[in-house]
Amino acid sequence: MRNELEINHAVENYSDMIRRICLCHLKNAADVEDVFQTVFLKYLLYKGTFESAEHEKAWFVRVAINACKDHLKSLFRHGVLCLEDLADEAASIAPEEHDVLDAVLSLPIKYKDAIYLHYYEGYSAAEIGKLLHKKESTVYSLLSRGRGLLRETLGGDL
């Protein structure tokens, strides 16, 4: 079991990333909070060791995505979170960012993960392939199609 110092360090370092991953998958704020806490609970109980900070981050990405999928499967919940569901954040987001975020969140789930991990977290197609258990060429295809859908939604300026 992880000690309190490790837990606090992980919460400070990975909270935002996990929150964003949850945002991509889940339907409402309560689910986000549930999965958010579940991910850190798994970390608390995880007995393995991490070779590096990158390894630890990749572990969190994979666990968070899986936890979101499990949550959706277990509750038969489908659909996505709209920014309107996040009233606090929606108010603080600029209109242009609001449109981009809404467009990304409206993408089918298979594109959302790839788009988020590539454009925000900076993972390469090969790394995303490892994280999502997909072939690198499939990830390139997902990124390309996701970008195309965003371009359709947001116009040619993406």
Partner 1 sequence: MNAENKIKTAFDSVGASESLKAATKSFLQEARRKEERRAAGHRLRMAAQAVCAAVLMLVIGLGGYTMLLVPVSYVSIDVNPSIELELNRIDRVISARAYNEDGERILECISVWGKHYTEALDLLVESSEMEPYLEGNAALVFTVASDSMQRENWLLEGVSGSSGCTGYGGMGVRTDVAIVSEAHECGLSLGKYAAYKLLLQYDSSISTEDCRNMTMSEIHGLLEEHGHKSEGHGSGGCRGDGTGGASGADEGREEGWGGEGNGSGHGHGHGHGR
- Binding region for partner 1 (CB under 8 A): 1, 4, 7-8, 11-12, 15-16, 18-20, 23, 33, 36-37, 40-41, 44-45, 86, 88-89, 92-94, 96-98, 100-101, 104, 115-116, 119-120, 147, 150, 158
At 10, the amino acid letter reads A
Sequence length of the chain is 158
Identity of the residue, 72 or 101, whose beta carbon is nearer to partner 1 in the bound complex: 101
* Min dist. Cβ of residue 84 to partner 1 (A): 14
Identity of the residue, 72 or 86, whose beta carbon is nearer to partner 1 in the bound complex: 86
Identity of the residue, 52 or 87, whose beta carbon is nearer to partner 1 in the bound complex: 87
Using only C-alpha atoms, what is the Rg of the chain? 16
* Min dist. Cβ of residue 73 to partner 1 (A): 23
* Min dist. Cβ of residue 120 to partner 1 (A): 5
Q: Which among 68, 65, 60 has a CA at the least distance from the CA of 28?
A: 68
Identity of the residue, 98 or 130, whose beta carbon is nearer to partner 1 in the bound complex: 98
H helices present in the chain, as ranges: 4-25, 29-45, 53-75, 87-92, 95-106, 109-115, 125-132, 136-154
CB-side neighbour CA atoms (13 Å) of 15: 6
* Min dist. Cβ of residue 89 to partner 1 (A): 6
